[in-house]
A and B are shown apart, each in its own frame.
Chain A
């Protein structure tokens, strides 16, 4: 393409990426682990007298 003679050189670092990048795949949903408060509490074993 005919664009004429060079006049000056400069640098461009766009703040926003001009390329619509592929978004990283979302991790597969895992079943939520019950919070410690919801976890069943095992009865404490007491040694026999």
Chain B
């Protein structure tokens, strides 16, 4: 018999995604890790720490997210933290056509941290597509086409009309 859950409503936090092109479609992709988010399917956390860490600093095998590891699907309590990932470089930039911000539902096993959460299961809840892209992004895809493509996730998608692509202006436009 399984134990009763502690909560029956998903945790909702903020995160940023890379948008990648998959044929004629646009898909969300994690900025830091190799993880693609598919429409109408939850993302299931995997612990990649063992794969990327040095043998002597590896944690034992565990079900993600573990308190003593850094694994799990991340969400921040405040949009400012997530927005800082709208700029800066990522290994996955060559795949990406844009970066977006939004809220995400987390459930399953959840590690609560001081400024956010790490969960075992996740799905986007709302997606905001900045109308302006950072100036260093070379691959141009119109933001309104990206927003339309992301409606495949069947969650609210909005164009975010900010003064600039600066994360501070984007967060101001969210409020």
Is A1 a contact partner of B110 (Cβ separation < 8 A)? no
Q: A9-B109, A20-B155, A21-B40 are in contact. Are A3 and B74 (CB under 8 A)?
A: yes
Is B60 at the interface (CB under 8 A from chain A)? no
Count, chain A residues at interface, CB 8 A: 20
Q: Which residues of A contact B (CB under 8 A)?
A: 1-15, 18-22
Nearest chain A CB to B158 CB, angstrom units:
17
Nearest chain A CB to B47 CB, angstrom units:
15
**Given A1-B76, A12-B5, A20-B40, 10 further pairs, Cβ under 8 A:** A1-B116, A3-B74, A3-B117, A10-B7, A10-B112, A11-B108, A11-B110, A18-B10, A18-B42, A19-B41
Task: For A4, list chain B residues within 8 Å (CB).
Answer: 113-116
Q: A1-B76, A3-B118, A6-B113 are in contact. Are A11 and B3 (CB under 8 A)?
A: yes
Is A9 a contact partner of B8 (Cβ separation < 8 A)? no
Is B132 at the interface (CB under 8 A from chain A)? no
10 contacts across the A-B interface (CB closer than 8 A): A3-B74, A3-B77, A3-B116, A3-B117, A6-B113, A6-B118, A9-B67, A12-B106, A12-B108, A14-B105
Is B113 a contact partner of A3 (Cβ separation < 8 A)? yes
Which residue of B is nearest A4, CB measured? B114
Count, chain B residues at interface, CB 8 A: 41
Q: Which residues of B contact A (CB under 8 A)?
A: 3, 5-11, 15, 32, 40-42, 67, 74-77, 81-82, 85, 105-119, 123, 125, 153-155
